[in-house]
């Protein structure tokens, strides 16, 4: 009885320590269905009769992942005015009220043409009227300006600026393309 227990314990230990090899199911024997040696390389048999190379570690090459960035054009050193940027997609706009008019100024952006409008801030029942845009061709100086006329003195307006042809960064991010003022009142 004691010898039987020892034999069972030894058999269990050999199975635990040797796994399938203890039962003759593992190892690198010729004709083995789980592994084969061919030309000095180990092969895993995945499809009966077709050897597949064993997986090998491959060392990758570290590369920088491009980050999304939005950049303003490099300022012209001869330009002395500093334009504040409040939002990454907004072109800064400076508005000077005149008699029934608003003079709008902004920094030149990416050789784009522009369009500006002054949107009346009165409440309107129903559909809002389409804004009337004023086209401004691309400029070559440090800044651009135009005057919007025909406005009602003392009424509240917000000026919108659009630079439709500013293009995109290499990652597809659009360059600065729009701007807007706060509420302004023509004199």
Identify which has the larger pLDDT, 180 or 64. Answer: 180
β-strand partners of 144: 106
Q: pLDDT-derived band of residue 173, with 50, 70 and 90 as boundaries?
A: confident
- pLDDT value at 163 more than 70: yes
Residue spans of the domains in the chain: they are 94-184
Look-up of token digits 């030894």: 10
| C-alpha to C-alpha distance for 152 and 42, rounded to whole angstroms | 87
Looking at 25-34, 59-68, 109-118, which range is the least confident one? Answer: 25-34
- Which among 125, 120, 122 has a CA at the least distance from the CA of 148? 120
Measured CA to CA, the distance from residue 159 to residue 93 in angstroms comes to 8
pLDDT of 34 higher than 50: no
How far apart CA 60 and CA 6 sit, in angstroms, is 52
The average pLDDT across 65-92 equals: 64
86: confidence class by pLDDT, cuts 50, 70, 90? low
Domain 94-184, CATH class in plain words: mainly beta
More reliable by pLDDT, 68 or 64: 64
Neighbours of 177 (CB within 10 A): 19
pLDDT of residue 108: 85
CB-based contact 160:179 (threshold 8 Å): yes
Query: Per mean pLDDT, which of 5-14, 20-29, 107-116, 140-149 is the most reliable?
Result: 140-149
Phi, psi of 15, rounded to the nearest 5 degrees: -65, -40
End-to-end CA distance of the chain: 114
């Amino acid at each position: 009885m004691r010898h039987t227990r020892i034999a069972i314990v030894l058999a269990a230990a050999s199975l635990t320590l040797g796994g399938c090899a203890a039962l003759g199911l593992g190892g690198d024997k010729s004709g083995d269905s789980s592994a084969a040696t061919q030309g000095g390389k180990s092969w895993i048999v995945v499809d009966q009769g077709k050897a597949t190379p064993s997986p090998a570690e491959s060392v990758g090459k570290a590369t920088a992942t491009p980050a999304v960035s939005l950049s303003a054009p490099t300022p012209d050193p001869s330009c002395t005015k500093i334009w504040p940027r409040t939002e990454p997609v907004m072109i800064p706009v400076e508005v000077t009220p005149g008699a029934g008019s608003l003079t709008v100024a902004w920094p030149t952006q990416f050789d784009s043409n522009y369009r500006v409008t002054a949107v009346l801030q009165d409440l309107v029942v129903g559909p809002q009227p389409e804004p009337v845009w004023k086209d401004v061709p691309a400029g070559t100086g440090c800044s651009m300006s135009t005057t919007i006329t025909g406005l009602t003195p003392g009424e509240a307006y917000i000026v919108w600026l659009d630079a439709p042809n500013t293009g995109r960064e290499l990652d597809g991010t659009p360059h600065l393309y729009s701007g807007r003022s706060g509420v302004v009142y023509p004199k």
